[in-house]
Structure 1
């Protein structure tokens, strides 16, 4: 780095907020003078990453009292090695320079997680005087702990524990080493007792030192054995210590408990208060349930599956006569009764049971009603994946006004039928209760509703006060049914009537009902029996598209849909356009900004130019510069048309020069299918369907007068159509010590390879011939004989262009596999038999991963998931709800439906965050969300900061 560049950067750093400065200094060469320019104005840095060269120069500078950089404070100092095979002499020189730097600078945390070197070389750092914590590579930490144990020196032991903050969780140490370090600790020692990491025979010894132990993770197997040992000794004082070490969590999930286990648990609860109890998918003997239920007032957070929940409710109901208050159970469940299949872990021996509908009897519903009756606040009642007869559901009506009800459409229709068949006074009372329980949204989509059911729904709508969104799509609604509902539309903001049997007469009466109604904003009438499109033009709130007709109507965002040209004009243009242009291919300049690739092409003369990266072709008049990038389709603009995306959407700009023809690549293999394609131009939320001037086997050309968003669209319902596709492979070589993984993408050929490479940059792209032909909406399977596991077993191929591209298959392999054959086969079902046809077949060679600057990306991403799990697990219920709200309402939001699927499974939420936003963007998003919650404490900072400079 040149000194003048360092001086310029130093001037910029001076202007920044010192609390937010994250500096990465990894030069190939830098002068001491230049280093002085960089740090002379910096008194405080949040994070500093340096390599061996920078460390050496800074160490020389701090020795000089006139350098001006002797009073610098660094919150976190990370040292990066250029190679993992440095000779011991070079490492000693580096550590010597680092020690010199630490004597002068104030460094709070030293990150040496990239150092995998011999333990004795770190002794000089352990001797550093001052409040310094050091993060070691897990292998180095393991060796260092064993080195300290072998030395048996009290001072060295204390220095080791102080510098590591007592965190031994990355290590897998023998019990002798662990016990020695725990006994010698003056502060807490953190251990990881996940499944299989601790010998249960050492529990008695561990219990004697619980005062100085904190658990990062703790397995149900360990907890079960520890509680048994404590109960055997009747050592109640150890319960408080065990809970303090495990963050007040008793985890007994996925265990089959016997009488001794239950007695041990009751003993623990007796000596506890505000404990978190996890009994998810556990099996408890019937004769022991009552004893556990009696002690639930000691539990602040109870996690149980739906079958155990029913068992607890039945027992609680039976104990009412003995003076037991059922409110303790409801309080422990945080006022949520979840009987859905998602309330349990759908795996192992419980998987099939959780997939089956849960039958609720009269006794069950009576118990549910009784416990909710004791509630002092609203209770969330989830009845998805449940079934019950009418007599059982009737037991729930008295408490519906006190619940927020979430249930399947089938059960909702059952409730509506019960309302209609009851006496008038009872009907009105039950309708009022149900309307309060349903909240703001009511979804009956894909549920046939007859006239009688609509009469019952009318009663519910009559009493509703909060309902704003009503979905009645594909419900076989007729004009007569609509007449019943129309008087209540003044309470509904958004009504979906898609796919019903509404005619022109129904629309006329609907228009009359809307007069004077300003509350209703949108009524969707797509795919009904409407012939008079003029009726739809009279009401701007109607969203509709009659089959075969493109109508000109205002969108909710006041955009306008226009159609330019006709099929005959397109055919004429295609037949008359005969000229052959001399085409020049080019490789574009690339600029990556926040994961988005911007392509750039400059030409000194006019002509026809084709981009090798995207397949786009530009006809340019004279010299000029074209900039373009892929953007997401706004599906709202296409919802009123009978078209869907058939290729990427490009944002094209031309800062200089003039373009008058644009060729977009398509994937079609048949001439007839090409005729169904159109080019769409979007400008200021206005869609313009453009007539092609030329169609070829690979491209569609249009004349352009102004540049913005251009893309190819296809008519809806183009099933069983064969298109050109591509199979892309990315290798993840280090998912574990024994396994590697290949991510397999099945994509249309028009998707640029560079876009996928950018999304998957942490993985190694496997170069092979990728071309193939794929049938839309057909199921494909992947076959690889050397694979340990392939998931999913089959996948539906869809031509998706609206968002990010996700892998189709995961192929797990042993590390020893260096070549394999992969086949992609289409599943063909017909005439009572299933056959397969090969669409793609290649021999794949797996090369050793090359060293590159992104070499630690996979490790970072994997560790990021682990640390993000800890952050999410540490959030309270209120913080978790607020986090999901922020995720739904941010710029690159995650759909509410996907967030809903994660339910209370925080690990699934972590997977959804990383898969939706990627590694880098998810780190940025979580940092922003933690600031807003707010969660700026050391627990979050410690786990978040390592990734903010990756």
Structure 2
């Protein structure tokens, strides 16, 4: 059996560490390949004893260690020293990793980058992407990569300390394309007195999810396909279908920020408690760069109570007002959903209309929002406000 020490989160003591015994023929947290790669399912501050020479990759940070011998490795992220970067006209191109290990045990590091294929080829040709080596005394030297692959920058390690990728400011921002592989991360805030709130973050892809989640520990991470292409210096906007009551319409500038804090790029306040929505990210030219249907956990609403409340609201309308309500429904779409057919609404009683709305607009959340929108178009603002205030 192989002995691997589990990760230690910041503040944990040595006594709190658990030792895991994993068999090579039946791994639980590791994947073995022919070249002895191990994918470690860890987060936070890592502490590992590697069994011997080989190539090992952490699945959370994507760091790759090329080991020459058995050794214990400790590493964690740390903030970039802004003063050093400013003096050297450099910009972070990745997280800064503080790595500790016995001298000579690590031959080479592979640091994950976020460059697109075109950007990577340009960087290789012009030498614009390099590795910062920062000592405990905050002295920085620049290491040139041995090779840049589609995903990593390979660098020989003469001495261990803090290492991270950097861009040359002038060349990066004035001479080459600034497109990078990005990611869209979503966090649903815990329920409160206000409407459901979704935090949307646009980030470079080589920022570990575990690092971002530390800043959003109270929120629920919504797992969706996050990959996209972003341009540093472009402005982006977020759009919801169906449109939320407070859609974040102000475009936000995308910058290659690498912590220490990860604040939301957009905050989406939802009108009611929808079970799902479609979120779209557009660039400054109006081009969609990311689009995804999102199912919000824990936001299902009781269909029976919604049906009863809508029916109670419609009973406050006079017969003429109710006919106007049905007329608006014939023209009211909802996201990608077309209006209800006129033939279905003809001669329909109030209870029948409520059933049609629930069925046609995909559940209680959509039915409630459509009803509110139609009431507002009819200037029945008191009824609309009452329904909004009631919404769970």
Residue 837 (structure 1) aligned with residue 287 (structure 2): yes
Q: Is the 8 A contact 2:278 2:293 kept in 1?
A: yes
1:847-904 superposed Cα distances (whole Å, 9 cap, x missing partner): 118xxxxxxxxxxxxxxxxxxxxxxxxxxxxxxxxxxxxxxxxxxxxxxxxxxxxxxx
1:816 maps to what in 2? 273
Residue 665 (structure 1) aligned with residue 100 (structure 2): no
Q: Secondary structure at the match of 2:114?
A: coil
Residue 727 (structure 1) aligned with residue 184 (structure 2): yes
Q: Secondary structure at the match of 2:69?
A: strand
Shift of 1:673: 3.0
Which 4+ residue blocks in structure 1 deviate beyond 3 angstroms? Answer: none
**Counterpart pick for 2:140 among 687, 700, 703:** 687
1:268-314 superposed Cα distances (whole Å, 9 cap, x missing partner): xxxxxxxxxxxxxxxxxxxxxxxxxxxxxxxxxxxxxxxxxxxxxxx
Distance in 2 (CA, whole Å) between partners of 1:599 and 1:773 is 30
Distance in 2 (CA, whole Å) between partners of 1:756 and 1:794 is 22
1:611 maps to what in 2? 58
Shift of 1:732: 1.2
Q: Is the 8 A contact 1:826 1:838 kept in 2?
A: yes
1:702 maps to what in 2? 155
**Counterpart pick for 2:166 among 684, 706, 713:** 713
1:14-62 superposed Cα distances (whole Å, 9 cap, x missing partner): xxxxxxxxxxxxxxxxxxxxxxxxxxxxxxxxxxxxxxxxxxxxxxxxx
1:775 maps to what in 2? 231
Shift of 1:582: 2.6
Q: Secondary structure at the match of 1:804?
A: coil
2:88 maps to what in 1? 641
Q: Is the 8 A contact 1:599 1:629 kept in 2?
A: yes
Residue 625 (structure 1) aligned with residue 77 (structure 2): no
Residue 742 (structure 1) aligned with residue 195 (structure 2): no
1:813-832 superposed Cα distances (whole Å, 9 cap, x missing partner): 1342011110101012xxxx
1:99-118 superposed Cα distances (whole Å, 9 cap, x missing partner): xxxxxxxxxxxxxxxxxxxx
Normalised TM-score (structure 1)? 0.26
Which shows bigger deviation, 711-720 or 616-625? 711-720
1:496-529 superposed Cα distances (whole Å, 9 cap, x missing partner): xxxxxxxxxxxxxxxxxxxxxxxxxxxxxxxxxx
Residues 838 and 806 from structure 1, CA distance in 2 versus in 1: closer, same or farther, beyond 3 angstroms?
same
Shift of 1:802: 5.1
Q: CA RMSD in A?
A: 2.1
Shift of 1:605: 2.0
Normalised TM-score (structure 2)? 0.62
Q: Is the 8 A contact 2:190 2:218 kept in 1?
A: no
1:939 maps to what in 2? none
1:248 maps to what in 2? none
Comparing both chains, which one has the higher relative contact order based on Cα–Cα distances under 8 Å and sequence gaps of 6 or more? 2
1:600 maps to what in 2? 47
1:764 maps to what in 2? 220
Q: Is the 8 A contact 1:624 1:656 kept in 2?
A: no
Q: Is the 8 A contact 1:821 1:844 kept in 2?
A: yes
Distance in 1 (CA, whole Å) between partners of 2:273 and 2:144 is 55
1:442-469 superposed Cα distances (whole Å, 9 cap, x missing partner): xxxxxxxxxxxxxxxxxxxxxxxxxxxx
Distance in 1 (CA, whole Å) between partners of 2:84 and 2:239 is 40
**Counterpart pick for 1:803 among 260, 265, 282:** 260
1:650 maps to what in 2? 97
1:533-559 superposed Cα distances (whole Å, 9 cap, x missing partner): xxxxxxxxxxxxxxxxxxxxxxxxxxx
Shift of 1:807: 0.7
Distance in 1 (CA, whole Å) between partners of 2:298 and 2:262 is 26
Residues 731 and 802 from structure 1, CA distance in 2 versus in 1: closer, same or farther, beyond 3 angstroms?
closer
1:752 maps to what in 2? 208
Distance in 1 (CA, whole Å) between partners of 2:123 and 2:258 is 18
1:250-283 superposed Cα distances (whole Å, 9 cap, x missing partner): xxxxxxxxxxxxxxxxxxxxxxxxxxxxxxxxxx
1:108-131 superposed Cα distances (whole Å, 9 cap, x missing partner): xxxxxxxxxxxxxxxxxxxxxxxx
Shift of 1:589: 4.3
Greater per-residue helix proportion: 1
Distance in 2 (CA, whole Å) between partners of 1:657 and 1:693 is 18
Q: Secondary structure at the match of 2:87?
A: coil
Shift of 1:791: 3.1
Shift of 1:653: 1.0
Distance in 1 (CA, whole Å) between partners of 2:128 and 2:104 is 32
Residues 588 and 705 from structure 1, CA distance in 2 versus in 1: closer, same or farther, beyond 3 angstroms?
farther
Q: Is the 8 A contact 2:196 2:270 kept in 1?
A: yes
Q: Secondary structure at the match of 1:629?
A: strand
2:37 maps to what in 1? 584
1:49-88 to 2 correspondence within 5 Å?
Answer: none
1:70-110 superposed Cα distances (whole Å, 9 cap, x missing partner): xxxxxxxxxxxxxxxxxxxxxxxxxxxxxxxxxxxxxxxxx
Residues 761 and 660 from structure 1, CA distance in 2 versus in 1: closer, same or farther, beyond 3 angstroms?
same
Distance in 2 (CA, whole Å) between partners of 1:793 and 1:642 is 31
Distance in 2 (CA, whole Å) between partners of 1:724 and 1:609 is 23
Q: Is the 8 A contact 1:653 1:708 kept in 2?
A: yes
1:246-325 to 2 correspondence within 5 Å?
Answer: none
Shift of 1:657: 7.6
Q: Secondary structure at the match of 1:712?
A: strand
Residues 770 and 688 from structure 1, CA distance in 2 versus in 1: closer, same or farther, beyond 3 angstroms?
same
Q: What is the number of residues matched between the two proteins?
A: 256
**Counterpart pick for 1:678 among 105, 130, 143:** 130
Q: Secondary structure at the match of 2:247?
A: strand
Q: Secondary structure at the match of 1:754?
A: helix
Distance in 2 (CA, whole Å) between partners of 1:735 and 1:700 is 44
Distance in 1 (CA, whole Å) between partners of 2:259 and 2:222 is 26
Distance in 1 (CA, whole Å) between partners of 2:142 and 2:134 is 9
1:448 maps to what in 2? none
Q: Is the 8 A contact 1:676 1:715 kept in 2?
A: yes
1:457-496 superposed Cα distances (whole Å, 9 cap, x missing partner): xxxxxxxxxxxxxxxxxxxxxxxxxxxxxxxxxxxxxxxx
Distance in 2 (CA, whole Å) between partners of 1:616 and 1:598 is 13
Shift of 1:585: 3.2
